Structures are given as structure tokens and as C-alpha cells.
Amino acid sequence: MLGAVLVVLALLVATVVGIQAARRPILFRMAVRTALRRPRQTATVVAGLMIGTAIISAALVAGQSSSSAIRGAVYDALGPVDETVRMDGLYFFDQELQDGLLDDPAVAAYFDAAAPNILWQVATDNPRTDLFEPGVQLVGFDPDLDVGFGDFETERGPLDGRDLGAGQAIATQGLADKLDLRVGDTVRLAYTLPVDPLLPELTVFGGTLAGSDPGSIGLPLPPAEQNPATDVHALTVEPGATRAVFVLACGIPEQVDCPAGTRLRLTATDPAGVATSIELDAGACTDCGTPSVFLNVTPDGPRLPEGAWTLTVQGAVAANVPYLLVAAPLHPVYDLEAFQARVQELAELDRDALDRFASGFGAPEEETVRIAAVTTGGRGDQFDFDEALFVPLADAQAMLERPDQVNLIKFSNPGGVQDGAEGTDDAVALLNATLESLRAARPGDPAAPHVLVNPVKQEFLELADDAGELMTGLLIFAGSLSILTGLLLIINIFTMLAEERRAELGMARAVGLSRRDLVGLFLFEGSLYAVAAALVGALLGMALAFLMVVGVNQVIATQGSGFPPIPFAPGPDALPVAFSAGALLTFATIFFASRRQSRLNIVRAIRQIEEPDKQGRPWLLWVGAPLALVGALLSVGAWIAGQFSLIVFAPLLMALGLRMALATRLRRRVLDPALAGLLAVYYVATIFLIGTFDNVREANVVGPIRGVLLTLAVVVVLSHWEAGPRWMGRVLQRARGLRAVALPSVAYPQHKRFRTGMTLAMFSLVILSIGFFSIFGSLFQVDPARHTGGFDVEATATLRVESLDAYDRGLVDDSLVRSQHELLDHSTFDLDFITVDGERTGQFGPPMHHVYGIDRAFLESQEFRLLWTLDDLGDQETYERLFTEPGTIIVSYPYSTNEQGQDLAHEVGETLRMHFGDETREYTIIGIQEQFHFRGVWLPSEEVDGLFPQADRLYLWDLQPGADAGAVAKDLERTHRDVGLDAEPSQELVAEEQETFNQILTAMKLFLGLGLVVGVLSLGIVTSRAVLERRQEIGMLRAMGFTRRQVRRVFFLEVTFIVVLGALIGIATSIIVTYGLWFAFIRELQYPYAVPWSEIGWLLAVAYAVALVATAAPILRAARVAPAEALRYVE
């Protein structure tokens, strides 16, 4: 979109310039001739101009390549699958729905292939090798329908899976490696049965167990019909229930004790007359309190018979005792809103008794399969599961006790893996329409409305493009200083060109060209350069992106992370967009530079007399004075209001106003450095006050801009400082080798103030940007312990079990464990599920959200520090608040960033929302954690349990000091292998994440290094111009007795002078800026401030070395100047 605008704009400008050229062909021809007259110089100019374009182009192409890499991964992962139909949470639904969908003639006609699947997590174990793998994807597939999705590739050739027998499975190569599998091995699977999000439909009956004949106590209950204490209740079971739970509690609701020896029997009879009953003999218990009977009724088919049920309560008690009978047919509720409402209802009652049924924990099941083949690719890669087992659908259904149910249907659009995605819109419309009619035909099926179409491939491809754009944006942001540097270079070059041609231009003015013509002349020439430079720059940027891709691939390859190499994939729009952006930037800069140059005095120009200090025109006073006043008022206001942007910009406005207003009274060479100096001092002062401002988000953007302004101000001051360089020269003179060369080499840069200032600015800005990243990066070298909250091992289990301890083989040395914690952990890949202040948050890793549920015991052990707390409470108080104040939430660090990963984008006190379809829940952020290892939001367990009754568990262990976390993690996996525990040493994980962060940082710094190239290139250009300009003077020096070496030294020292000064300014400002930021934000994190001197030393050494290389050619040329020739040379 932006790209199109740029291209159109560029075309527009080209048209305007073209029309102008046609109107003044002579000017145009003059411009062309000037450009062609000195091809070498033109080449240098173009080289200087192209840098900005190259950066834009490189960023664009690098972004496109990374998006294409992700696209490639998407194609690899999904293969021919374009859409899936499933429920959130992969709940099971009836196969009838699937059949209805697949048998629909329109659907059948449209899709290349469609097939149901069952996906379920299992833990595996190879008894032959005694190896185990906790997290394995079990894939049930329909042998006939799945054929449409290609063959399993195996080492023995392709397999279509149709002849896979019952009890047989195909393993992926990844799993085979983990378990050391051979064909023929028997693999043991452990898993829990799938559950539906069940909620009871409660009916409560009350009554009194009549005291019966005391003589009958202690005897078997008399037949119901003879027992006077028999109550019969009628219950209507609504359609859709999958099972029912009945609880009969004695002594409730009056809370009286049931007499010892009470006997109870509960019988449930369905409409068909089938009865289920259970008895309780409380005879043995003397202090029973409330004896209860639980009756669990499961149907033969998928649903409980609906209609009129009868519940019969029989009791034999010694006295009249009240009882309560709760009937709870369990209905799957896939609708969160409804779920919430019911949870509220339940909360009114004593929930404990029902919890066990609703929470969905089951005992682990076991099964074995025989490995029939190992697949290396093809259909085996379809879901991108490294470790998976493929079994016939019927087997999976039997194992999971879900006859006639599946949890996924996949579809392949017409066309191949890549072009298939183009049909997504049609496919989605078709599937939705068909689903709609199926839902209408199945009113009683609670699942049907929630079985939805997911355009998976399209969604992932969009994510890929977003990621690519993000990358481009990031690189352009990182390169923005380099681009700015490039623009300064353009101005510098054009000023030099104009200086060189002053006489020529003066003549042109003298013979009657107007000022506008001069601008035109420059613009024509400039647009020629801009076009050439943009073209070369765009291509160079591509080459650069190519090198980056190659570099990244090298890193990927050496890391062996298994990522496929990133393809070099410039999009078709890369060249035109980069070209247009570059040409426009260059053109605009040239436009301003040439306006400046056209204001020359004819006589002075011809006679080569320097333009005097410009005297301000009187009217400037009338513009400047009000500006200065407004600036001053705004500054004062800004300080009163603590408005950060204005605190930075208003004084700048004031200074600019003063500069205009005082231009008539004071000379610029006094005025400029004075104002710049005051600004610089002011900025340094504000840096240490930044912490007192609330709006950190603003500071985040304005802070770096202030760094740039500070740098520029310092450069203005230094480039006006007359005495400094002289003094330097006198000092350097004391060195024997520099005796003759010291004076000229400092005098020249001082003399060419504008040029030197520009070069200094470029150099120092580049050093500033690299130094900034370098120092900042080193500040964020985190201590892993601070990101793991003091915990050492973290684990998840494939099997959802109520208590880990029940599945402990006793292989861990308990003396090593200080404490163990179980957290609820609901995760989702839906990035829009959580928003802060209405926007998506940063991710710092895989794109997903976690909602962690913690209990008070956890609070005792955890050491997750909070960076910011609401109302400035202490950490412990804030965590405590989580439990006492509903609607509060604590978040990990990434939730304080925005989607672009910008720090400090969000603060405590802002609102965090969770989006459940139509409903949202709001929380106030009361604390932001320092850690970004457990990237999620933190709530009390009860709250998470209420929201996500089927949340997974996250287990954390705190070990004794000195324990080897890696070894304990291994032992934990072994001891809990029955539940498929997957344990990792936390600090090692953090260290790996840090490593990734460092690599990104390095990549950033390398990209910033491009700016260094600009700075250095500009030095090369400036030097080469200086050599040209000073030929005659060089000849004079040579005549006077300067040796070639001394001539070289003059230039060499000059370059050194600029590099060292620029580097000093850049380093100093980057230290000031980073120290300021540290002072304001990081100090509280208790990270020490340190400057990575050795890294900066290297940086400077490299910068200097490259500068020498870049200036070597002109310097050598200077030394070779033949004196006799040069003295004769009149330019």
C-alpha cells in the first residue's frame, strides 16, 4: 500500500521534472553534459547518494525473504491442507457431522481431498530399548479418505496406509530416533481419555429419610416397595447430556449428623426402564458427618437417553434425617458464556462433590501398537509434528473411547500446495454454508455450532507476511540513522559540488540565468544522479540482503537447529518500491540543497571570494521573536506539566527562533555555537531528569531523538571552535614526525566548517547508533536466575492427571528438591485473545499467550521480581493483592511491550482484556514482572480454573543449591514417565533465549554497520574532493620541500582528526544517552551500568581501519601530485 503510494509519487515527480526539462531543454542538456563530463566524479556522487536507497532496499528484501522463509515453512508444515474444520481446544464431535460435510455434493465436488483425523497427545515407551518420549502426537486417519493427502514416504518406498492393520502404527523418523525404533517393535502408549467441557444441569431434590423401624437397622435394606422410607423423584433429562452424576447426601442441608449405621441406596432409572443403582453402608463409621452416595451413569452410546427419569432414594436410618439429592446430567458446553453462567450457579452450592467429575481428570490409559513402518516425509510431515504415530482412525477411536467421533476434518483445495491457498475464500464460504445447514438439521447437538472452519493455511501465510513486514520495519528503524546519515552525505556532496562550481554558476547567472534556472539546473542534474543512485542502490540493497540471508543461513547451519535455510526471495515489488523511495528521498534532499546553493552572489562567485557570514534580513526578527517566545512559553509549560516531548522540542524551537531573531545583531559564527552549546547542556541535564516523567512510552521515541539532537548540537559547537584545533595542532607539532604536517592538517578541517561539521555529524551519529545498541545490549545480558523466579526445573505432562505424585516411580533423590509447584497453564495461539490498552502485545518468542494460575503456596517460593507495581506497593503486597482484589492481574515483561517489541509501551494501571468470542473480561494490571521466560499473565488458580476448567499444568521445582538441574530434570522425566513428563532445566532455557537475543542484536549491529559504511564513504568522498581542490596547494607544499610522505601525513592526520573527534562525540553521547536511560529505567532493575569498552574499542578500531582504507586512494593520489603540474593547474 505504502509501496504503491511511493511509486505513484515517484512517477509524479518524474513527470513534473520531465515537463520542466521539455520546457527548458537547454538547461537539461547543460545538466546532462555536466554529469557526463567527469564520469569519475559522477560515479562518486552516485555512490554517495545510493546508500539510503540501499538500506531501504535491503530492509525490504530481507523482510520479504524472511516472510518467504516462513511461507515455506507453512507449506512444508501443512502440505496440501488448506482448511480444517474443528472446535477450539480440539474437542471431539460426532462423525455424523463429518459425514454430512464430506457427503455434501458441493463439498465433494469442490475439494481435491477431505478427510477426518483424530489428534491426541500420548506418551510413549519402547520396552525393547527402554527409551521413552513424553510428548507424541497420535494421529488417527481414515485409511481410505486420507489417501487424497498423498503417500507416507518411507525408506522402502511410498505407503498409502490402506493396508495398515489393526494395532499397527506408522512412526515418524523423529520418534523412531528418540525411541530407537525398528519396524516390528511394540510401543507402549500412555494417555488420558479426552473429555468434553462438561457442565452439570443441576436439579436439587430434598426430603427426609424417615426413621424406620429401629429393628431393621443393621440389616440389608428391605425391598424398596416395602420400605416406608422410599422417596421417588421424577427428573427430566434434556437432550444432549453425555453422562450423569447423582449425589445423595445425608444430613444436608440442615447440617445435622446422620446417625451411625445409616444405609442409603440410590437408583436411577432411564425412560426405557434401565436402572443403575448404588448403595452405601455407613454402618462401620461412627463419626461420619454426612455420608453420601455418588452415582455415575454413562450411556452405551454417545448420549444419555433423554426424557423422564426416575430417581429412587432409599434409606434406613434411626431417626428422621434430611437429605439432599443433586441430579446432574452433564452436558457438553462449548460456549464459554454459557459455561461461565453455569459456573456461577454451581458456586452457590458446595462444589467439591461435583468437581471431580467436571474437571476432566481421568486415570491414565494404556495401549500398545506395533510399528509397521517409519515415515520420512510426505503425509508423515503433514502437521509438522516431529514425533508422531499414525494409526487407523478406528483404532484411535477405540483407544480414546470415542467411537464415531473425530476432532478434526482437513480439506485440500483444488490446486497444489501453494496455489491451493488462493481458493480459500471460496472454500470457507462453501464449508460455512454446508455447516450451517448441518447445524440446522442437528438441533440437539451442542457441539455443532462450535465446529468451525479454520482457513489455516491462509492464516499462517498472513502471519508470515506480517512477520516479514515487521522485519522490514525493524530494519528500517534500525537503519534510520544510517539513512539520515546518507541524507547528510547528499547535502554534503551537493554543497561541495556547488562550491566547486561557484565560478561557473556565477558566470551562468551573469549571462542571464535566473535563480530559478539555477535551481532547475541543479535539479536536473540531481534527478539524473537520483535516478542512477536509486537504481544502483536498490540493486546494491538486494545484494546486501542476499549477504544477510547467506549469513543467517550460515548461523542456522552451524547451530543445527533444524530450521530450513532462508531462501533469498525478493518480491516483485521490492525493486520498484525501493527505487521510488530512494529516488524520492534523494531528490527531496537535492532539492533543498540546491535551493541553498542558488542564493549566491554573482560577483563573489566569479571572483571566488568566499560568501561572507550571512546577515539576517530584518523581517526574520518578526518571525524569530514570536517563535522564540512561543518556544520559551512551551518550555516552561512543558516543565510544569511534565510533558516530555515538549521538554525536548520546545527549547529547540526557542533556539531556532532566537537564531532568526538575533541574526541581524550577532554573527552566525558566534550565534550558532552559542545556541547549540546551550541546547547541548540543556539536553544533558534533562537526560538525568527523564525518570520523573510518567509517559515513558513517549520517552521511548523522543529519547533517541534527543540523543541525535544532542549529538548535532555538540557537532555545531565543535565545528565552530577556532582555538581548539589550533591548540591541537600546536600540541601535535611537538611530535617530530608531525612537526610540519600538524598545522595544515588541523587547519583544513577547521577552515571547511560546514563540510567538517557534516562529516563529523555523520560519523558521530553512526557511532552513536552502534554505541547505543552495543551498550544497551550489554546492559540486557540477563542473569538467568532472575527470569526463572528461583525455580530450577520446569515441566509439562502429556497426560492430564490430578496429582503427579500418584505416578512417581521414586527415581528422584528427594533431598535435592526444596519444593514442587503445580500451576494452571492455559495457552492459546490466538494472539488477539489478550490485549493491553486495546492493542496486541509483544511476544518475545513463539506467538502465543499463557494464562498461569497460581496459589498462595506458590507465592511463598517464587522470586519473580516486579519492575513496576500499581500504587508503588511492594512485590509481596502486590502478589497478595492478586488474591484479595478481583479483577487484578500481574503480567510478565512482554505485556509491557507492543507488537513492535518496543519497551515501556504499557504500564501498570492499564487495562488488560481477555476476549472470549463476544465476551471480554477486564483486568487491571497491578504488576509487571521483570521476567520474560514464562511469557504470560498471572491470576489466582481459582480464577483460571473457572475460566479454563481444562487448563494444562505447569510444574515447577525449586532445587537445593548446588543440585544439577539438568540431571534432576532427566530423573524427573524418568520417574514420571507414566504421565509423559517433559522436564527442562529452566536456567539453561533462559540462557538459550539470551543467545538468540544476542544473535538478533549482532544482526542489528551489523545492519547499523551499514551506517558506518556511509560515514566512511563520505570521508572518502570528502578526502577525494579535498585532494582535487588542493592540488595547487599540494604542489606548493611539495615545492617548499614537503616530501611525499609528509603530504600523505597531512591528509592522514586530517582523517584521523575527524574520525577520532566524531568517534569521541558519538561515544560520549551514546554513553550519556544510555546512562540516562539506565538511570531512569534500568537502575531499578538492579542491573549495573557498564560500558563494554573492549567492544567499543573494537568498533572504533574497525571504523578507523575502514576509514583509512576508504581514504587511502585519494591520499596516495595526493602524494603523487607532480609539483610542476599542480602549480600550473588552475581550476
For other proteins, the binding residues (CB under 8 A) are 610, 730, 733-734, 736, 739-740, 743-744, 747-748, 750-751, 1032-1033, 1036-1044, 1046, 1122-1125, 1127-1128, 1130
| Closest to ligand ADP by CB, 241 or 1126 | 1126
Residue 675 cell numbers, joined: 545556541
Q: Which of 728, 750, 788, 765 is nearest to 929 (CA)?
A: 788
Q: Which of 773, 770, 755 is nearest to 1106 (CA)?
A: 770
* Least spacing, CB of residue 1043 vs other proteins, in Å: 5
* Least spacing, CB of residue 1127 vs ligand ADP, in Å: 10
CB-CB contact of 983 with 737 (8 Å) = no
Q: How far apart are CA 554 and CA 560, in angstroms?
A: 10
| Closest to other proteins by CB, 209 or 1047 | 1047
Q: How far apart are CA 759 and CA 1107, in angstroms?
A: 12
Residue 493 cell numbers, joined: 556532496
| Closest to other proteins by CB, 462 or 611 | 611
Q: How far apart are CA 399 and CA 401, in angstroms?
A: 5
| Closest to other proteins by CB, 37 or 734 | 734
Which residue is associated with the grid cell 500451576?
Answer: 823
From other proteins, ligand ADP, none, which one binds at residue 378 (CB under 5 to 8 Å depending on kind)? none
* Least spacing, CB of residue 1120 vs other proteins, in Å: 10
- Assess whether the previous peptide bond of 222 is cis (omega < 30° from 0): no
- Is residue 368 classed as helix, strand or coil in its secondary structure? strand
* Least spacing, CB of residue 1126 vs other proteins, in Å: 9
Compute CA distances 310 → 10, 263, 321, 566, 1065, whole Å.
Answer: 82, 20, 22, 67, 89
Residue 187 phi/psi, 5-degree rounding, is -110, 135
From ligand ADP, other proteins, none, which one binds at residue 1033 (CB under 5 to 8 Å depending on kind)? other proteins
Residue 872 phi/psi, 5-degree rounding, is 55, 35
Q: Which uninterrupted H or E stretch holds 888?
A: strand 888-891
| Closest to ligand ADP by CB, 312 or 1032 | 1032
| Closest to ligand ADP by CB, 19 or 1130 | 1130
* Least spacing, CB of residue 670 vs ligand ADP, in Å: 45
| Closest to other proteins by CB, 900 or 1043 | 1043
From other proteins, ligand ADP, none, which one binds at residue 1038 (CB under 5 to 8 Å depending on kind)? other proteins
Residue 478 cell numbers, joined: 534500525
Q: What is the DSSP letter of 1069?
A: H
From other proteins, ligand ADP, none, which one binds at residue 23 (CB under 5 to 8 Å depending on kind)? none
From ligand ADP, other proteins, none, which one binds at residue 351 (CB under 5 to 8 Å depending on kind)? none
* Least spacing, CB of residue 719 vs other proteins, in Å: 14
* Least spacing, CB of residue 1114 vs ligand ADP, in Å: 22
From ligand ADP, other proteins, none, which one binds at residue 750 (CB under 5 to 8 Å depending on kind)? other proteins
| Closest to other proteins by CB, 178 or 752 | 752
Q: How far apart are CA 531 and CA 529, in angstroms?
A: 5
Q: Which amino acid, residue 1006?
A: L
| Closest to ligand ADP by CB, 73 or 1127 | 1127
Q: How far apart are CA 470 and CA 464, in angstroms?
A: 10
Please say whether the dihedral angle defined by the alpha carbons of residues 144, 150, 152 and 153, taken in this order, is positive or negative: positive
Sheet with 230-237, side-by-side order of all strands: 230-237, 307-316, 263-269, 275-281
Q: What is the DSSP letter of 1080?
A: I
| Closest to other proteins by CB, 234 or 609 | 609
* Least spacing, CB of residue 742 vs other proteins, in Å: 8
| Closest to ligand ADP by CB, 946 or 1123 | 1123
| Closest to ligand ADP by CB, 515 or 1128 | 1128
CB-CB contact of 983 with 865 (8 Å) = no
From ligand ADP, other proteins, none, which one binds at residue 1032 (CB under 5 to 8 Å depending on kind)? other proteins
From other proteins, ligand ADP, none, which one binds at residue 991 (CB under 5 to 8 Å depending on kind)? none
Q: How far apart are CA 605 and CA 614, in angstroms?
A: 15
CB-CB contact of 120 with 191 (8 Å) = yes
Q: How far apart are CA 1108 and CA 732, in angstroms?
A: 20
Label residue 143 exposed, middle or buried (CB < 10 Å: 0-12, 13-18, 19+). middle
* Least spacing, CB of residue 1125 vs other proteins, in Å: 8
* Least spacing, CB of residue 707 vs ligand ADP, in Å: 52
* Least spacing, CB of residue 1034 vs ligand ADP, in Å: 16
* Least spacing, CB of residue 1124 vs ligand ADP, in Å: 8
Residue 840 cell numbers, joined: 496486541
Please say whether the dihedral angle defined by the alpha carbons of residues 711, 716, 721 and 725, taken in this order, is positive or negative: positive
Residues that bind ligand ADP (CB under 6 A): 1125, 1128
* Least spacing, CB of residue 758 vs other proteins, in Å: 18
- Is residue 236 classed as helix, strand or coil in its secondary structure? strand
Q: How far apart are CA 939 and CA 221, in angstroms?
A: 50
Q: Which residues pair with 1067 in a beta bridge?
A: none
Q: What is the DSSP letter of 611?
A: P
Residue 920 phi/psi, 5-degree rounding, is -130, 150
From other proteins, ligand ADP, none, which one binds at residue 225 (CB under 5 to 8 Å depending on kind)? none
- Is residue 385 classed as helix, strand or coil in its secondary structure? coil
| Closest to other proteins by CB, 755 or 976 | 755
Residue 504 cell numbers, joined: 561557473
CB-CB contact of 769 with 1011 (8 Å) = yes
Q: Which value, in Å, is the radius of gyration of the alpha carbons in the chain?
A: 39
| Closest to ligand ADP by CB, 994 or 1032 | 1032
From ligand ADP, other proteins, none, which one binds at residue 1043 (CB under 5 to 8 Å depending on kind)? other proteins
* Least spacing, CB of residue 558 vs other proteins, in Å: 52
Q: What is the DSSP letter of 1078?
A: I
From ligand ADP, other proteins, none, which one binds at residue 964 (CB under 5 to 8 Å depending on kind)? none
Please say whether the dihedral angle defined by the alpha carbons of residues 898, 902, 908 and 910, taken in this order, is positive or negative: negative
| Closest to ligand ADP by CB, 1040 or 1130 | 1130
| Closest to other proteins by CB, 203 or 1032 | 1032
* Least spacing, CB of residue 609 vs other proteins, in Å: 8
Q: How far apart are the first and last CA of the chain?
A: 49
* Least spacing, CB of residue 720 vs other proteins, in Å: 15
Residue 561 cell numbers, joined: 537447529
* Least spacing, CB of residue 1122 vs ligand ADP, in Å: 9
| Closest to ligand ADP by CB, 1045 or 1128 | 1128
Q: Which amino acid, residue 245?
A: V
